[in-house]
Structure 1
Amino acid sequence: LTDIFPRDIRNSEQSEKLPREHSFLKADGDIVVTSIQRQGDSMLVRLFNPHETTEKISLDPAASYTEVRCVTLDGRDDSKSTVLSRGEMTELLIPPKRIATVIFEME
């Protein structure tokens, strides 16, 4: 058994510090982000549109990605949610009262 003293902890601090805040995903729009999870080499984002109208949302993941697509809860292609643009920012149209699952294939 070894005693650890405060001086031992202070000396072991790294010179690089973590940022005070970090975001895996920036979302802009009037839709609820309900889940962000890693799935293999992909990031899965689940959204909910609680409104009576179709809503547009912009998503900007912190990591680079090669492809983005919408799928249903069981993983099939979702023809009702629409990916409008690809690039640094992805815009989506989510129908009213609908859950949408977006998969970002990461580099």
Structure 2
Amino acid sequence: MGRLHYGDSSFEMEDRLLAHLQLIIGAKLRRGENFFMSWRADESSGLGRHAVWVDNGVPIHCQYDAAVPVELNLAWAERLADLASKGGGLIIQAEDVPLGIEEADESAQPQNAS
């Protein structure tokens, strides 16, 4: 488990998710696009969810548990980035389709019976 340090706060997150968030946050902030990011808190914390305003003025530090970088799923990153551009902000969602968009569409097609 890694940690997202945002200002004076720190949030535990899976390394895989954190790597994707680093990509999206970096791209959005380079373009000067601030946004809300929200996610459900771990049930054991007793909290419902978190929401933070991601802005260039707040220090961000991604701390990974593993030394080896994860392989990025660009389809998932694109989905998350699209959410970040909408009014509700980036609502963190699970990586439910590990394949690229084109591959997922093809694998979802029913096979014709002979």
Q: Same fold (TM over 0.5)?
A: no
Which of the pair is proportionally richer in strand? 1
Q: TM-score, normalized by length of structure 1?
A: 0.29
Which of the pair is proportionally richer in helix? 2
- Larger Cα-atom Rg: 1
